[in-house]
Amino acid sequence: MKTTTGREDLLRGVWRENPVLVQLLGLCPALAVTNTVANSLAMGLATFFVLMGSSLLVSSLKGVIPHEVRISAYILIIATFVTIADMVLAAVVPDIHKALGAFIALIVVNCMILGRQEAFASKRPVGRALLDAAGTGVGFVVAMLLMGTVREVLGNGSLLGVPVLGSGYEPWVVMILPPGGFFTLGFILLGFAWWRGRAEERPAVREWPHGVRTSTRKEAA
């Protein structure tokens, strides 16, 4: 098991191992409910809450849950938090809850969440598990917001319901329909992969005049 620092646990999920943009997990909500920024944000926060709650419980109960029934136990824990999120959203923001529909309940089967429990929270101390969950959750919210912003601005000419492109703009309705989700995700993944590829091609050490050498990588080896 590779040892990591708390900072790495937190930041890993946000960018370098972003659940949606790099690991390609949680694509179902990323495609289905990102037609507006408000929906994306609500979905992102609900998932964040479930991830934090599940990681906390799974990590604190790792000595109690028998290895043989761990997956059932994780699903039970995740489903409980999802149902709580579902009821709270229905009570607090009924309109957004209506727009998200069945996708709230489907957070249960988001493999990003189960993946973090099985791969990380079930083997690490509570603090680390929470850092990891927070990082992954923020990474998911970031990806959802990226999708939601592109789709709402192009598809509806607005941002969070406020018109931003003027009345002369004819919205690309396709962007808020399902095909728009695929287009947007495709282009974002393409851009992300290209950017990562460029970063990796850079030489690790840069030679300056007078023999000065500096690292060009943020994460020093």
Partner 1 sequence: MNERLPTGSGRQDDAQGRGGGRVGDGATGGVLPDGPPSWRLLSTLAVAGALAGLLLVLVFQATDPAIQAHRARVLAEAVHEVLGGPERYETLFLIDGRFTAEPGGADTTGLDRVYLGYGTDERPLGLAIEGGEPGFQDVIRLIFGYDPGTGRVLGMKVLESKETPGLGDKIEKDSAFVRIFRGARTPLFGVKRDRATGADGEVELITGATISSRAIVDIINHRVEELDVELRTFWDPRAAGGGAP
Asked whether position 83 contacts partner 1 by CB under 8 A, the answer is yes
Q: Is 176 among the residues that bind partner 1 (CB under 8 A)?
A: yes
Pairing outcome for strands 162-163 and 205-207:
unpaired
173 binds partner 1 (CB under 8 A): yes
Encode 131-161: b = buried (16+ Cβ within 10 Å), e = exposed. Answer: bbbbbbbbbbbbbbebbbbbbbbbbbbbbee
Is the alpha carbon torsion for 127, 128, 131, 136 positive or negative? Answer: negative
Which H or E run contains 140? helix 126-156
Residue 90 found at the interface with partner 1 (CB under 8 A): yes
Q: How far is the CB of 219 from partner 1 (least distance, A)?
A: 24
Tell the smallest beta-carbon distance from residue 176 to partner 1 (Å).
Answer: 5
Residue (61 or 189) nearer to partner 1, CB: 61
- Interface residues with partner 1 (CB under 8 A) are 1, 35, 62, 64-70, 72-73, 76-77, 79-80, 83-84, 87-88, 90-92, 94, 98, 101, 118, 122-123, 155, 171, 173, 176-177
